Amino acid sequence: MSSQPDLDQLQRRIGYQFRSPERLLLALTHRSYGNQNNERLEFLGDSIVNMVIAEYLFLHFEKAREGQLSRLRARMVKGVTLAEIGREFELGNYLRLGSGELKSGGFRRESILADAVESIIGAIYLDSDFLTCREQVLRWFEHRLESLDLQDTQKDPKTRLQEYLQSRQFPLPRYEVISVDGEAHNQTFHVSCALPSLDRKTTGTGSSRRVAEQKAARNALKELGVENQ
């Protein structure tokens, strides 16, 4: 969040000392700050983290099918997970944001934190080599990867609901935000899920719109009798 972040402290937190600290500074610079920003590094880091996680899953889940591996990887590299890592590093305190993003709380925004994590991965790769970068990525994801199980490859409720409806040529569900409670940094979303095949809407509550929609979809599956209560 500071215009002149303490890069030494951040490097200790991420466990990597940059030969060229300006690369780290660029990785922390959001496009709202200026033309010289982290978008290109984000592109590079996104490719690297996908490759590293894919390799890990391929080697550690020898009996997994392609679809299972893809869903495990998607769980690891999605924005929510990357943003969690960013929060563990207290990355919001180091981001360089334009005045508009600062005022709107951009240093807490999930997408900005996730993009910055990917940008730092790209910066580490340019500052060192692939093996060093791979080691860092695996260390950051270590406890998440170790807790993975093939049971985690079940499709999420929204996908299951959509596929169920499509298989019967029913219209797709309509999700709507009913209300949002709380401060910007600690919001609770209330979402409804409307299905033409049900005479009422199901609802879900969560810390983000995505989580609330998943819960509403799960409740719809229960109402339809597709899944157990």
Question: Is it the case that residue 202 has pLDDT exceeding 70?
Answer: yes
pLDDT of residue 15: 96
Check: CB of residue 2 under 8 Å from CB of residue 29.
no
Q: Model-level pTM?
A: 0.68
**Mean pLDDT comparison of 14-28, 155-169, 201-215, highest-scoring range:** 14-28
23-27, 70-74, 147-151: the lowest-pLDDT one: 147-151
The pLDDT mean for the chain works out to 89
Secondary structure (3-state) at 179: strand
Higher pLDDT among residues 163 and 139, named by residue: 139
Question: Is it the case that residue 131 has pLDDT exceeding 50?
Answer: yes
pLDDT of residue 1: 45
Kindly state the average pLDDT of the residues 81-100.
Answer: 92
pLDDT of residue 6: 78
* Alpha helices (H) along the chain: 7-14, 21-27, 39-60, 66-77, 79-88, 99-103, 110-127, 130-146, 157-167, 209-223
Residue with token string 């009913």: 178
Kindly state the average pLDDT of the residues 9-17.
Answer: 95
115 assigned ligand-binding residue: yes
| pLDDT tens sequence across 179-191 | 998 876 678 899 9
Catalytic residues: 46, 118
Please, what are the domains in the chain? 7-153 (1.10.1520.10), 157-223 (3.30.160.20)
1-5, 9-13, 148-152, 193-197: the lowest-pLDDT one: 1-5
Check: CB of residue 146 under 8 Å from CB of residue 152.
no
Task: For the chain, give the percent of residues with pLDDT over 70.
Answer: 94
Kindly state the average pLDDT of the residues 123-129.
Answer: 98
pLDDT of residue 152: 58
Question: Is it the case that residue 198 has pLDDT exceeding 90?
Answer: no
Distance between CA atoms of 22 and 43, rounded to whole angstroms? 18
Tokens for 140, please give them: 């950051």
42 assigned ligand-binding residue: yes
Helices 66-77 and 130-146 meet at what angle, rounded to 10?
100
